Structure 1
């Protein structure tokens, strides 16, 4: 079945099961040009268009073929391309926390400036269009929150990763660092004292960092482009009606959530399409199975250092399995390896003859492997990739090879373990069942709650009262202070009374002794 008809059938099922909604005018605005991010947003936007809503999408990845009810406001070419354009060295630079945060805050602030100044965006801001809903991404600076004020429309935000530290406060969602690991740390929900200390400090520092290096600079840009009367970013972000986050408790850690936070991990996963004939033949004829190797949509595997590239080639040349490798096909490779710059990843992973997925740990690919039940050899490079792979390692579905540890021996050991220990596939299949077992598919859930917000005028009843509390009220510091003062008063009073009674008793006893 081709992807688009499959999507139509899925959306039709949603129509039947979730009821009809009046057609709305929806504006999706996405400043970042990362394909791995947009693939999540695109799934919802296409589905909403298929439901009859008029969907307008401001972004860098216009549709190649026209889709009914889906209109691109394309700013393609306004930013340097990042799809298939990261070298290993650049990816490893982003592995340093300071570099990654600089990219998320400062580089994305520059992206906001460029996109907001684009003529199409200026026409949108200053035009007479009306919209019933704005859909944005939470990543770095909130470039487009001013549009909610400009169009007087509610906002739904989407996060292509697990929950970001600076996203919880806008909907009053609990974020307890004692057992909820930070996005930037590869910790489990069971942390040692030292890890809890680091996790707590990191969570609060990142929130402050986002405020000072992202929110405050964005204030100036917001007033510049949306007018001097636009409310502060801090006020606008607390008007967020809903956050759709790319996580699920079966794969990520369970956490308390307010009604305005909806987990839709795997929303981008569709019905598998048909493999090209050459790939189908290559996989079918692999008597010992196939290994699929990809470092994601941005990183070019051919930029690996010579020693590490040769380690992979040496390992692949010595195994009976066939290998599909996303890499420049002009590189000289063993006969059992097929290479290309791009592969239909989900369709490949869905083939029953694929034995192992060698992955950098991007969340979308990890979710696809988990959904299908394919064991993983993980080689994290930057951002949340170590965290994503570690989740699978803890569940017994993956082996991790740190980048600095890549050698022929380490790779051979990891592949041998995952290929020949049946527990990895068994646990991968078990995790797959848990990941799939939901009342509705992730896309159906996202459609329902999106339309729910539209139907109920922004759904203000989902808003947590925590948003109206100051930080010290939220942490009950005022209550604790009153209780401590009250107890101190009681103890002081008892002390004074006791001391007075002892004094009186001592005085009376002394008088009696003298009288005797």
Structure 2
């Protein structure tokens, strides 16, 4: 009898955690954002889960157990914003938040209005779990509400002031720098003052601009949708793209998990021409890529000429992701409109990576132990590069300040000072030295949430409090009022005593 019960119990566990129906929402039309989700969704499909994926990058070749719902119509309107990213980097803090708000409103609305997404929301389908990227798209929490299932957020970066509130994670401005700064955890007084101001400004923006705006999108696209705030704080878990090898340690709730590097691999064979070029690079190879949003072809002509002159003077070979033809290339340079970035970084002859500071590219360089020359432009890129600069495996150079002299000096330093290579290898070792690979950890926690039907025991009690209660604003207000009341009473009593004393003195003088 006990054996039968044990078998039934194991079967129940197996049925819950294997072959689940999972909805993934990774719809933003930036390839780096898509890859964060796709790597995870494909792994779940490979393990037998039935996956539905909403994305703007549909696969040409179908994948077993993975059904895709395309929302690629967002690419055209959103590209108008992505093409302005260089200008975005010149905006002040509030301007950058406003820029993101407008772009988020457009893409969130396009996804929720999509005919196939609407059909899904109005269908009788059932899901065991929703996994969605959290990127200024809070209205997407309607998916978990609609299908009455647990929700997992995937943040495209580390914990920030923009996502910590979702799971009541503590955020201390004293040593946790704002996403849009280049500060580290060790800030001086003025940096802490600036960081506190930016955090307060960001929190106010989320509370009074972002959430009302997303609520309006939700109400406009989904009939009878509930108020956003009633469904926003029901997530079971959040994955963040962070790792102790490049990010300072911070407090995390039990239901926030670092899986930085989960997207790396499996590596494919290099194309024959690239492999031969790199294999024959006896002095090493420099890899240059500005990612999927910024285009090397759009660089200022004088900056391109400066870069080419520097490349012509080094003994290393250079692979440059360049989206058009390039005249007068030096003999040691090969350009490609697309590069298999992970594979070329993994090549043993790669000695440096010149990049824009995107988080995934930075993680990949750390993973493979490659020093970085960073050219950050916007959003979190400055902070990402500063993180590896502080760990002595990178040099930062502003694109605005790029000249032949500054670029040549920085590249020469990266290639010839052994400390950068040595520290890059150390950080790579730290990233690899963990109990299990990050992708395996992510899958474990996904199964865990399904197995325990949302794992409510992981959620903080702070989620049940209003923000004013969570940060003791109500207590501080009460104590302040009490102190003011005591002060007023004491002042009144002292005034009365003083007045009476003066009156007695006056009477005594009259009697004399």
Q: What is the TM-score normalised by the length of structure 2?
A: 0.88
Task: Say if 2:300 is the partner of 1:305.
Answer: yes
1:267 to 225, 240, 262: 262
Cα distance between partner residues in 1 of 2:445 and 2:410:
42
Distance 1:481 1:299, change over 3 A: closer
1:92 to 62, 79, 86: 86
Q: Deviations over 1:97-150 (max 9, x none)?
A: 455323321111011222221111111111111111111111113231112221
Task: Name the residue aligned to 1:511.
Answer: none
CA apart distance, 1:398 = 0.3
> What SS is found at the alignment partner of 2:75?
coil
Cα distance between partner residues in 2 of 1:323 and 1:22:
46
Task: Say if 2:238 is the partner of 1:232.
Answer: no
Asked if 1 retains the 8 angstrom alpha-carbon contact of 2:372 and 2:395, the reply is: yes
Asked if 2 retains the 8 angstrom alpha-carbon contact of 1:83 and 1:297, the reply is: no
Task: Name the residue aligned to 2:472.
Answer: 476
Asked if 2 retains the 8 angstrom alpha-carbon contact of 1:84 and 1:298, the reply is: no
Structure 1, 18-27 or 304-313: larger mean CA deviation? 18-27
Task: Name the residue aligned to 1:256.
Answer: 251
Q: Deviations over 1:289-340 (max 9, x none)?
A: 1100000012110111111011100001111111000003511111110001
Cα distance between partner residues in 2 of 1:112 and 1:214:
12
Unaligned runs of 5+ in 1: 1-17, 501-516
Task: Name the residue aligned to 1:37.
Answer: 33
Please give the residue correspondences for 1:59-458 in structure 2 after superposition, counting only pairs within 5 Å. 59-80=55-76, 90-95=84-89, 96-97=91-92, 98-228=94-224, 230-332=225-327, 333-458=329-454
Distance 1:315 1:245, change over 3 A: same
Cα distance between partner residues in 2 of 1:453 and 1:382:
35
Cα distance between partner residues in 1 of 2:482 and 2:217:
48
Distance 1:217 1:86, change over 3 A: closer
Q: Deviations over 1:265-307 (max 9, x none)?
A: 1110113221111111101111211100000012110111111
Distance 1:137 1:130, change over 3 A: same
Unaligned runs of 5+ in 2: 1-12, 498-512
Cα distance between partner residues in 2 of 1:397 and 1:471:
40
CA apart distance, 1:50 = 1.1
Cα distance between partner residues in 1 of 2:464 and 2:206:
21
Distance 1:480 1:223, change over 3 A: closer
CA apart distance, 1:79 = 2.6
Asked if 1 retains the 8 angstrom alpha-carbon contact of 2:139 and 2:215, the reply is: no
CA apart distance, 1:249 = 2.3
Q: Deviations over 1:364-421 (max 9, x none)?
A: 0100000110001011011111100000100000011111210111111111111111
Q: What is the TM-score normalised by the length of structure 1?
A: 0.87
Distance 1:204 1:485, change over 3 A: closer
Distance 1:442 1:209, change over 3 A: same
> What SS is found at the alignment partner of 2:370?
coil
Asked if 1 retains the 8 angstrom alpha-carbon contact of 2:352 and 2:414, the reply is: yes
Distance 1:184 1:25, change over 3 A: same
Asked if 2 retains the 8 angstrom alpha-carbon contact of 1:296 and 1:359, the reply is: yes
Asked if 1 retains the 8 angstrom alpha-carbon contact of 2:367 and 2:428, the reply is: yes
Higher relative contact order (CA 8 A, sep 6+): 1
Asked if 2 retains the 8 angstrom alpha-carbon contact of 1:171 and 1:467, the reply is: yes
> What SS is found at the alignment partner of 1:258?
coil
Cα distance between partner residues in 2 of 1:477 and 1:211:
16
CA apart distance, 1:64 = 2.5
